[in-house]
Chains A and B, each alone.
Chain A
């Protein structure tokens, strides 16, 4: 079997898995504020928690494009379940794969791929969100290791994770550490009252003078922001880009199904052109968004440096259209769309989260525009030179 065929079969299989074991229970997970351990175990047994990791570490070995398609299938089922992949697989495992040393990779990646250990990413703090370079969690060097002190907030899967990839600071130097739950001084508490991601075990993580051995430093001390955080957020953005497509696609399916079953004024509401316009716009935007995600995936496969900006564009666009399409889906459902009996109410709330996490839309707009300001600039001297050449050719022709 070719590599491509094998990967496509994984996508078909995960689509069925998500339709059977995840999507019908998304509301229940939210109400119970937890993803059942049995589901995490089932996903781990199928290798889903290491979907993008190499086979030698126990992963499925999906390339970037197929991992994206994989993320979409899980995300269509439930955003909280998809967020497990975002933090555990994309943010932590893929970053460790890139920057961990051989011992760290051999020790941790098989545990992550098989779900024996669940990992989460600890960057944000009560006072630090978008300005990630200003983390206040402190570390200091001691004999054979480091001591960490601080508090992390909004940590997805923080309440059940076994391992925390913690970003901390010391005299302006930012470093990444793998902190294990059993280390003395580590504690977590769940955050309640959330708009969405209610089953994603979002928590605060407290580090009270936690000793971390030198062997648990990821990358070089001081490389935490420019390389570890950048790598993690790049993987996270790619995951969220596909998460946006997943929510948008799920909302489209709900919208189409409802419009074909709901009758008003004596006919099914899909007959109304204004409903058709919403369906058409949703389809067009989803196709456009998926194309951006696929392009980002191809560039990632090639390890092309343009993949970073393309991933940023894909994340910005897909989170935006997920919001727009879920707003339209609620509108098509009318009063029913405002009630949690129907999935569009949840999809609408989940979409909002995507415009905030892994870089707010506003920060991403700034990054994208700065890229454009460089890439599409035509210095006057160059334009004049082209014009004079053209003039010369024209004059000679005459």
Chain B
């Protein structure tokens, strides 16, 4: 994944999470290492929706080993998972 692809991925994830916030505050800045579940930005009902979004948006497929909330709790972790899935596709 190039630097540009990384930037785009992070931007898309940030934007998607912001569009799905559980809280209704106007100005929330989500840092890449913020745990979105622990901080209460989203609730556990969002977990499946987020997973479906990442699969379709980034063309990856998750299996039973991936479904650990920690993998989807920060933008950094999501990006790492997408990156490793993409790398596995190439191999």
Contacts and interface: CB of A to CB of B under 8 A. Distances in A.
Given A305-B56, A370-B22, A225 B64 contact: no
Contacts of B48: 226-227, 230-231, 234, 308
A133 B55 CA distance: 25
B11 interface: no
A222 interface: yes
B22 A230 contact: no
Contacts of B44: 133, 225-226, 230
Contacts of A47: none
Contact of A303 (B19, B52, B64, B69): B52
Interface string B40-52: 0000110111111
B64 A219 contact: yes
A220 B65 contact: yes
Interface in A37-90: none
A182 B49 CA distance: 36
Contacts of B64: 99-101, 218-220, 223
B53 interface: yes
Contacts of B56: 302-305
Contacts of B33: none
Interface string A300-333: 0011110111000000000000000000000000
Quick one: which of A220, A367, A375 has the most chain B CB within 10 A? A220
A225 B46 CA distance: 11
B80 interface: no
A373 interface: yes
B68 interface: yes
Interface string A222-240: 1101110011001000000
A77 B49 CA distance: 33
Contacts of B45: 230, 367
Quick one: which of B19, B53, B56, B68 has the most chain A CB within 10 A? B68
A334 interface: no
B81 to A, nearest CB: 13
A220 B55 contact: no
Contacts of A218: 64
The A interface is mostly helix, strand or loop, or mixed, namely helix
Interface string A200-236: 0000000000000000001110110111001100100
A309 B19 CA distance: 14
B26 interface: yes
B31 interface: no
Contacts of A335: none
A379 interface: yes
B20 A374 contact: yes
A305 B19 CA distance: 13
Contacts of A304: 52, 56
B21 A374 contact: yes
Interface in A275-306: 302-305
Contacts of B8: none
Contacts of A133: 44
Given A101-B64, A227-B67, A307 B20 contact: no
Contacts of B21: 374
Quick one: which of A219, A304, A377 has the most chain B CB within 10 A? A219
Interface of B: 19-22, 24, 26, 44-45, 47-53, 55-56, 63-65, 67-69
30 contacts: A99-B67, A101-B64, A133-B44, A219-B64, A220-B65, A222-B69, A223-B64, A225-B44, A226-B44, A226-B47, A226-B69, A227-B47, A227-B48, A227-B51, A227-B67, A230-B48, A234-B48, A302-B56, A303-B52, A303-B56, A304-B52, A304-B56, A305-B56, A308-B48, A309-B49, A367-B45, A373-B24, A374-B19, A374-B20, A374-B24
Interface of A: 99-101, 133, 218-220, 222-223, 225-227, 230-231, 234, 302-305, 307-309, 367, 370, 373-375, 377, 379
